[in-house]
């Protein structure tokens, strides 16, 4: 398969960026999207040119590092997959593919396709944790939790913090990410101890990072590679209102 790639190139955070054209040929349909970029970078190395910078780590759909905007969609045309799980068979032979970084004021570009998503880390540090004694594991049935609640908490915890929700939202809102992190604790009794401070601190940090407001368009849920539900945003809003009233 042959492709024309239009890729965003930007030397540094303060440099002027632009789209550059590249050609790749004889790409197997079973090649992953990141492997295709590896092939292109090898060609650039052989030509003595600067390689294209892009984030990646596990390449197993777990870490969320491989965040690319592909043909106007976060992580590309396939649903419920990350960029590293996207294969070239999802495109047509000879197709032109536009590849850009996630764009949001809170995600400044570092170089080429790499953005700084440390804002997410600071939000989690503001309250995405529990304080309790460590030691040997407690008995599995020490605290009884119904199946539906446990499943909802696990679903929320599947958020990998890739930022697709922010990149997709017309307001660059981080509400889906923050609400997932709030929900994974709020749903469980172990997380109720610090529920008030958690939601207040995380929302405050989210606002300070410069993310936009949520208008319930729903694009974040559609493009989320883990299918995180909008129900988490409603839950976080309830948590925030209750915590504000306590204050």
Could you report the average pLDDT of every consecutive run of 10 residues in the chain (247 residues)?
98 96 98 98 98 97 96 97 98 98 97 98 91 72 88 96 97 98 94 94 98 95 97 97 89
The pTM of this model reads: 0.93
Assigned token pair, 53: 């910078």
Nearest C-alpha neighbor of 163 from the set 111, 214, 103? 103
CA dist., res. 25 & res. 94, Å (int): 9
| Contact by Cβ (8 Å): 172, 106 | yes
pLDDT given at position 143: 82
Output the CA angle 212-157-104, nearest 5 degrees: 25
Strand ranges, E, within 101-230: 109-111, 114-115
| Contact by Cβ (8 Å): 10, 116 | no
| Contact by Cβ (8 Å): 169, 224 | no
Which residue ranges form the domains of the chain, and what is each CATH number?
3-110 (3.10.20.30), 117-132+143-246 (1.10.1060.10)
pLDDT given at position 198: 96
CA dist., res. 221 & res. 231, Å (int): 10
């Amino acid at each position: 398969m042959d492709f024309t790639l239009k890729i965003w190139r930007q030397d540094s955070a303060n440099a002027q960026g632009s789209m550059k054209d590249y050609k790749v040929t004889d790409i197997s349909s079973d090649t992953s999207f990141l492997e295709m970029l590896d092939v292109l970078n090898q060609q650039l190395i052989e030509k003595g040119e600067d390689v294209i910078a892009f984030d990646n780590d596990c390449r197993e759909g777990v870490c969320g590092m491989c965040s690319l905007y592909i043909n106007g969609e976060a992580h590309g045309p396939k649903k419920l997959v990350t960029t590293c799980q996207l294969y070239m068979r999802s495109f047509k032979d000879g197709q032109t593919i536009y590849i850009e970084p996630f764009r949001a004021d809170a995600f400044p570009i570092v170089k080429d396709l790499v953005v700084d998503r440390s804002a997410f880390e600071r939000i989690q540090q503001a309250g995405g944790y529990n304080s309790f004694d460590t030691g040997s594991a407690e008995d599995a049935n020490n605290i009884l939790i119904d199946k539906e609640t446990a499943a909802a908490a696990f679903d929320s915890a599947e958020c990998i913090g890739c930022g697709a929700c922010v990149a997709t939202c017309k307001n660059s809102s981080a509400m889906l990410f923050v609400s997932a992190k709030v929900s994974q604790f709020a749903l469980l009794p172990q997380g109720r101890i610090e529920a008030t401070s958690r939601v207040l601190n995380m929302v405050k940090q989210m606002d300070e990072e410069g993310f936009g407001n949520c208008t319930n368009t729903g694009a974040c849920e559609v493009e989320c590679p883990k299918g995180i539900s909008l129900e988490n945003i409603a839950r976080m809003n309830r948590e925030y209102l209750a915590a504000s009233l306590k204050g």
